[in-house]
Amino acid sequence: MEYAILIVIVVMMFGMMFLQSRKAKQQQAERQDFRANLQPGTEIITIGGVIGKVVSVDTEYEEIVIDSEGSLLRFAFNAINREYVRPAYVHDDEVDEDGNPLPQESDGQVAQEPIENVNDGLPQVVEAETAAEESKAEPKNA
């Protein structure tokens, strides 16, 4: 019985190792494909966090030259992390408390939404209260 449990555990460990190595090989193939297809003009980010546009690619020496704000930098292919996509940023002044965008005016100022009148339902409540008081005041005819 103990040997059966041990065998099951060993088989599960080898299965997990196989799946992990397969996933790592797939990711490595995707990275190599990305690096092989790099073209000038592509915006990339390095593993060190340097962001720039590809200027030239040298596949013979596996080097890439990027332009980062006027500075030309040369990196090895392995230093390229991924294509850079600037994340969307919304300033806190452009959204309400719930994260919904505020309407914009033509001059760039945030439009002020009209405040709803709190007393809109008040006459109806007053009418209901006066009707209830009148029904209590009137004697019932039995």
Its domain, for residue 55, covers: 39-86
Distance CA 68, CA 48 (A): 13
- Same domain, residue pair 18 and 49: no
Q: Which is nearest to 102 in space by CA: 115, 118, 91, 87?
A: 91
CATH number of the structural domain spanning residue 61: 2.30.30
- Same domain, residue pair 9 and 28: yes
Residue 13 resides in a domain = yes
Distance CA 2, CA 18 (A): 25
The CA-atom distances, in angstroms, between 36 and each of 48, 68, 69, 104 are 20, 21, 24, 44
Residue 3 resides in a domain = yes
> Each residue's pLDDT tens digit in the chain (142 positions)?
788 899 999 999 999 999 999 999 998 888 888 888 888 988 999 999 899 999 998 888 888 999 988 889 999 988 888 888 887 777 777 778 777 877 876 555 545 555 555 555 555 544 555 555 565 555 555 4
Distance CA 5, CA 46 (A): 46
Residue 94 resides in a domain = no
